[in-house]
Structures are given as C-alpha cells and as structure tokens.
Amino acid sequence: MPPDRRAERQAALRVALEDEGLDALLVTHLPNIRYLTGFSGSAALLLVRSDGTVLITDFRYAVQAPQEAGDAARVEIDQKSVWDRLGKVLTAGPVGTMGIEAQALTVRDAERVAGLTRARLVPATDLVERLRAVKSPEEIAAVRAAAALAQDALAELLPAVRAGQTELEIGATLEAALRRRGSEWHPFPTIVASGPRAALPHARTSARAIEAGDWLLLDFGAQVGGYCADLTRTMVVGGRADERQRTVYELVQSAQRRALEHLRAGMTGREGDALAREVIAARGFGDAFGHSLGHGLGLEVHEAPRLAPTAETPLPLHAVVTVEPGIYLPGWGGVRLEDDVHLGPDGAELLSDGRTDLLELV
C-alpha cells in the first residue's frame, strides 16, 4: 500500500494558514478537497482549522465520503443543504479570520458564507495549489501509469487510421481504447484535428473527413487514480510528408528536444518556456507559437506551475509538467508535440515515451 500522505498535506496547509494569519480555510475546489481528504465526489465543502478538518457533503455520498475520507476528516452529511450544515459547524467552533478560495468560490457563494459566520473572510488564493505543485513519488507514478495507458491506446488506434475517416470516428476509437485499458475518464475533450484544422490549437473534433496527405493532430489524455496524463502527437495520413511539412515538424521536434534536455527545477517558468520558444523564433516562426510551453499536471490537467513567457515563479523540485511546443499556420495546418515530465534532481525525466519521430500513416 502507498503511504497515506493526507495528514502531512493538512499539516503543511496549517503551516501556510498560520503564515497567512488565518484561523481556518474553507476549501471549495473539488480537486483540493480530494488532495487533502481522498474524497472524490462532486459536491462538498471542507473546513480546515487548527483543531481539525470537517468534510461536509450530501446524502448521495453518505456511504462514499466516510469510506474515502477515513481518519482524514470528520464527515458531516446534510440531507438538505451543505451550506446550512457549514453554518452549524462554524457556530460550533469560533473562527476569527477565515480564508476562502478566491480562485474557486463564486461571488454568490462567498456572500452565502458571509451570512453564515461572524468570522472575517479573507481571499486566499492557491494555498493548496502550491502544495499540489510538488508531487510525491506516488503521484508521479500515477501520472506515469496514465501516460502508459494513453500510449497503449494510441498504439491500438494508429494501424486503423486511414484517409476517408472522420475526426469523430478516430476520436471515438481512441476514447474507447482508453476506457478499455482502464482510464477512469477523459481529462479533457479529446482533440482530433486534421488538415488545415490542425492549425487550431484547441480544435473541437469535427465531422471532417481526412484527406490523403493531411496532418492529423491528436491531443488526448488518460486518468489513473485521479491523476491525469496529457499527450499530443502529430502525423501525416495517407501519404508521405512533403518538404514543408517535414521542415515544420522537425523544427517543433528540435524545440521540444532542447526543452527536455535543459529544463530544470529552479528555473522560472519564463526561462523554461524560452528554451523551446527561442528555437522556433530563430527560424522565423515565433508568431506561430502563440501558447505557453507547458503547464502542471496532476489531479487536474491544467494546474501549477506554468511554463510561459509571463511566469516568473521558479519551477519547484518534483513538479510534473507538460512540454508542448507547436507551430500553427492558418489555412495550412499545425504541429504540436507534447510529453509529460517530472522535474527531478537531475532535470526533466520523461513520464511519457517521448516517441516523436514523424509518423507517415500510408
């Protein structure tokens, strides 16, 4: 059995609360609740105080919540309203200053909380997210397992891909393969973009039929134990790559390789992003790489830290991030290559397979 780290996570959060001058934190972001307690349901509030942790949920989770939370939290079930139950919990134990997750709580719900307590409410941003950015060995192993699962699903798909199929057909085959192999769900809507639509970085999978010689960009993921993998592969279908396709592809591949070779914990996110961006910009395609190089990966497919031109925060040791440079040329197509890495003491360690040689599915 892997070690149970929930107590140490809550202890680290309490240290952060003390540093911020907070007596308690109301956690409403569900991935944060799962990280701190193990509860994976779709509705909950979590109150973390110096003297204990209370998980509040509803009748649907009356059995599940105690099973998942165990000793990590006292579970309160309310038949009518989790907010009414929160009010009772707050009344039972006085709180002077309480943080609320400003990045997750709506204005309406913040007003609701204000009506339940005399505590002074303070916006508290990313207190749990900063803890989540540093992954334990078990979390890293879960992302690695999710990546392996996704790669196996891709390997099943590729021999069946041919010109004439629609993006939706390919997406359905890939998603079925992911589920058969044990993916708990799709961490995000699978992107299947072909031909000129490959120039849309976040294209919606469409009914377009693939033509011979088209780009086919696949951006997909898997989820294991709640943890996400996020991969992108770009290939040519129904023919050999032409000279322009090969040139652009090899440039993106070179940019990714440079980032993978030199990315280190301690760099700022901006410095990490520049490793790939400088390669692409030097060849005149800087304006065609319009998104960041990568993002954190864990219980969410997009989380801290960020590798972006505006990210001045140092990348923490044992972060897990994506490395995904791309070039997008409207009306022609685009190339993106994405792998998942662990930032360990010796640099970037691949968690996905890093197999990015150009595939020509003839």
Q: What is the mean pLDDT of residues 335-356?
A: 98
Residue 30 has pLDDT above 90, yes or no: yes
The domain boundary, picked from 132, 166, 190, lies at 132
In angstroms, what CA-CA distances link 264 with 258, 314, 346? 12, 10, 8
pTM of the model: 0.96
User: Exposed, middle or buried: residue 345 (CB in 10 Å: 0-12, 13-18, 19+)?
Assistant: exposed
Interatomic CA distance for residues 283 and 248, integer angstroms = 10
Q: Which helix (H) or strand (E) holds 82?
A: helix 82-92
Q: Domain check: are 236 and 142 in the same one? A: yes
What the block records as the tokens of 8 is: 């140490």
Residue 248 has pLDDT above 90, yes or no: yes
Q: Domain check: are 254 and 355 in the same one? A: yes
Q: Is residue 154 part of a domain?
A: yes
Q: Domain check: are 245 and 344 in the same one? A: yes
∠ CA 134-234-315, nearest 5°, is: 20
Query: With bands split at pLDDT 50, 70 and 90, how would you rate the model's confidence at 39?
Result: very high
Task: Show the domain range for 175.
Answer: 137-361
Structure confidence at residue 2 (pLDDT):
84
In angstroms, what CA-CA distances link 215 with 232, 245, 256? 13, 8, 19
Q: Domain check: are 284 and 182 in the same one? A: yes
Q: Is residue 175 part of a domain?
A: yes
Lowest mean pLDDT of 31-35, 90-94, 336-340, name the range: 90-94
Q: Which helix (H) or strand (E) holds 257?
A: helix 243-262
Structure confidence at residue 1 (pLDDT):
80
Per the CB < 8 A criterion, the answer to whether 25 and 95 are in contact is no
Query: With bands split at pLDDT 50, 70 and 90, how would you rate the model's confidence at 92?
Result: confident
Q: Domain check: are 176 and 127 in the same one? A: no
Residue 223 has pLDDT above 90, yes or no: yes
Q: What is the mean pLDDT of the chain?
A: 97
